[in-house]
Structure 1
Amino acid sequence: MVAPPIVTLLASLVHPAAGVLVGLGIGVAGGVALLVQTGTQPPLAPARSAASPARERLPLGLVGIVAVFATIGGVFGSFNVAAIATAEASGAGAASGLLLSAYSIGSVLTGVVVGAARLPGGPRSRFLVAGAVFGVVVPVLVLAGSLPVLIALAFVAGLATSPLLITGSSLVESIAPRRRLTEALAWPPTGVALGATAGSTLSGLAVEALGPQSGFLVTAGSAALGAVLTLATVLFLRGRAASADAGSTR
């Protein structure tokens, strides 16, 4: 969440390639650190014979969660493009770093709070509430009439983002088979990456065709779609759970 403003500042204040190089260095260092980490490595599973039961499948509901995460990525990608375009059009290109930082700081703050808190309700309910808040708060960015207001709204939008990421990951953990949990948790970030690519592309097209702030329409649309998909995913999971309970009582 803090990477976009850091990269922007490095590219504008140090060298255009500085942000990429620093990101590459951090990625390599993190990969090496993970490679040598053995404390959390799960025990090796025994090899299955031909007569062994089939591998547990990932739950179908995971598809919906990944789709929601793709809309979060759409918000990230479109917001970055629209924020930079709006700042440059206002004659304050350096303010793009403030916009990205405001969003990131808001997201980090709620990430710390929500991550440490004991929230009421089950994983599905928490995911639903977070999706609703995300879908209502983030689209407010389109109402900004000035750069200072946009910075403030970006901070508020950031506040609404981390809870959806956290509750979504918790929901994945609650529905995925234990032996495939790591694989299941890898899919939502993939959705974010795909959504960010689509969001930045669509936002760029909107900016070129309609003007700088029109990119936020893509941001708003992504957030609204995320709320709808959250509701659909929760309803689907509740239906599957009810069917499973009914089957177990027969």
Structure 2
Amino acid sequence: MPRHDPDHPHMPLLTVTADTLVAADFSSRRRPRTAPRKGRGELRDQPQQTRTRRRTDTPTPSGALAPYRALFQHPGTLRFTAGGILARLPMGMFSVSAILMIAGARGSYALAGAVVATGLAATGLVAPWTARLVDRHGQARIAVPATAVALLGALSLIACVHWNAPAWTLFASYAATATVPNTGGMSRARWAHLLKGDPAALHTANSFEQAADELCFMIGPVAAAFLCTTLFPEAGTLVGGLLCMTGVLLFTAQRATEPPPTGRTTAKSPLRATGIPPLLAVFLATGAVFGSLEVVTIAYADARGHASSAGVILGLQAAGSCAAGLAYGALRVPGPTERRLRRCLAAMTVLMALPWLTATATGSLLFLAPALLLAGMATAPTMVTAMALVQRRTPQGQLNEGMTLAVTGLLGGIAGGSALGGWVVEHATTAGTGPAPDTAGFAVPVAAAALALLIAVIRPNSRSPIDAL
């Protein structure tokens, strides 16, 4: 029990806490500062105010998920993250939905593919300008009307397909969806604004965002195929457009976490910023890895009579990437970011060889699936590290534009890699070269990953290679 003598007001209050004797001095005289002693008595020798502050501090989260729990202790982060994921989910739905809808109504996969390719090209042209407007005028002011225009384009596409409008209307309608903003870039910009000066926390946030991207592109195509084949052909495009609009409205409603607009700036374009062009080339080559791997895997499964299994196998690759991204974000990886990127690209080059070797040696989808799972584990850490470099090298006030340029490079690489992978599969199979000609396409993602590594080991604005990986 605490002891205190009321007849001696300057006597200290004594109490026992566990095995520690605590003395609280209520006298008005100043007590001399005592030099702290090592060991268990150190806390007792500290001033009363310091002891109290240490006892009342909020405990720091611990455990493997501690970095992620710490992220969402910031007010408003959970709400804008939920809105951002909802807005990004349709990004994996639009292409598949459009292909199924157009091919089902017009009976032409060539027309459907051409319409989708036109939309990707339009996105490559329009997205950087949309991102520049977001940087200048704010996310809510630009993202909402831009998404509304994209939704109108999706609705127009549905109407043109349903009422058998001329083919050119399909191209025009789908091209209008290119105004949809890069919600992933805007979300990363919010984290960069909130976590300014805390590179470790920003690394975790970037890893989480990359895992969210992987999750959306893993679920999106499956959801699109289910909606279009189970309900009606237009269902995937309709639901995707509504989800995108709803997610952007929820995302932009969180104004407290929105970075302030920069207005017009005299800074040069991110395209001309030091170190950005080589990074965009890395994104282009990395996109070729993704695009070619998807096409050659589908062709490999189809050649063995299991085309329906291709989606599940590719889903394993995305699942491996998502899991690796979350694990990477929980780590505190030492060393400069540039060196980490080179190591990630080297790991991706090595792991991308696993599907090629497995397919050639076994010819079995059962063995290819775990090989793709392992190969996917290098992609998310690579993307996280590359995006961190984009954030660092982009001029102040142009972060959305810089990250959107990176995504545009990635999409361009996906398109080019898909075309190259398909060409290699078709010609190698026709020529019948090698012991397993239908596995030759798996060499394309390996070559693309090696090209990305080669670009990364060359210094920006220099012809000399970096000394060590």
Q: State whether TM-score is above 0.5.
A: yes
Structure 2 residue 257 is matched with structure 1 residue 40: yes
Q: 1:78 aligns with which of 277, 288, 292?
A: 292
CA distance in 1, matches of 2:287, 2:377: 15
SS in 1 for 2:334: coil
Cα pair 1:4 1:100 within 8 Å, conserved: no
Cα 1:91/1:162, change in 2 over 3 Å: same
Could you give the per-residue CA deviations for residues 24-44 of structure 1, whole angstroms, max 9, x where no partner exists? 444333333344342332224
2:286–2:448: 8 Å Cα contact kept in structure 1? Answer: yes
Change (3 A) 1:35 1:200: same
CA distance in 2, matches of 1:127, 1:237: 18
Aligned runs of 1:1-250 on 2, under 5 Å? 1-3=214-216, 5-10=218-223, 15-16=228-229, 17=233, 22-45=239-262, 54-58=266-270, 59-144=273-358, 145=362, 146-211=364-429, 212-232=438-458, 235-236=459-460
Aligned to 1:247: none
Higher RCO structure, 1 or 2 (CA under 8 Å, sep 6+): 1
TM-score by length of 1: 0.81
Once the two structures are overlaid, the 10-residue window that deviates more, 156-165 or 177-186, is: 177-186
Query: Which stretch has the larger CA shift, 159-168 or 108-117?
Result: 108-117
Shift of 1:174: 2.0
Change (3 A) 1:92 1:132: same
Structure 2, unaligned runs of 5 or more: 1-213, 430-437, 464-469
**Structure 1 residues 5 and 185 mapped into 2: Cα distance closer, same or farther (>3 Å)?**
closer
Range with bigger deviation, 132-141 or 162-171: 132-141
More deviation in 89-98 or 104-113?
89-98
| Counterparts in 2 of 1:47 and 1:207: CA distance versus 1, 3 Å | closer
Instruction: Specify which structure has the higher proportion of helix.
Output: 1
- Asked if structure 2 preserves the Cα contact closer than 8 Å seen for 1:123 and 1:174, the reply is no
Q: After the TM superposition, which parts of structure 1 deviate over 3 Å for at least 4 consecutive aligned residues? A: 2-37, 44-48
CA distance in 1, matches of 2:262, 2:220: 41
Once the two structures are TM-superposed, the CA of residue 216 in structure 1 deviates from its matched residue by 1.6
Q: Is the 8 A contact 2:394 2:402 kept in 1?
A: yes
Larger CA deviation: 103-112 vs 122-131: 122-131
SS of structure 2 residue aligned to 1:179: coil
Q: CA deviation at 1:237?
A: 7.4
Task: Report the count of equivalent residues.
Answer: 232
Say whether the 8 Å CA contact 1:68–1:226 is kept in structure 2: yes
Alpha-carbon distance change, 161 to 84 in structure 1, aligned in 2, over 3 angstroms: same
TM-score (norm: length of structure 2): 0.45
SS of residue paired to 1:236: coil
- Percent of matched pairs sharing the same residue: 30
Larger-gyration structure (1/2): 2
Residue 196 of structure 1 aligns to a residue whose secondary structure is helix
- Alignment-mate amino acid for residue 32 of structure 1: L
Cα distance, 1:204–1:175 mapped onto 2, change above 3 Å: same
Q: What does residue 467 of structure 2 align with?
A: none
Deviation at 1:110, TM superposition (A): 0.8
Report deviation, 1:222.
1.1
Instruction: Quote how far apart the aligned CAs of 1:105 are.
Output: 0.7
SS at match of 2:257: coil
Contact 1:105 1:155 in 2 (8 A): yes
Distance (Å, rounded) in 2 between the aligned partners of 1:216 and 1:22: 34
In the aligned structure 1, how far is the partner of 2:372 from the partner of 2:442? Answer: 11
- Return the alpha-carbon distance in structure 2 between the equivalents of residues 47 and 197 of structure 1: 33
Q: CA deviation at 1:98?
A: 2.2
- Give the distance between the partners of 2:356 and 2:239, measured in 1 at CA: 32
Q: Which amino acid aligns with 2:372?
A: A
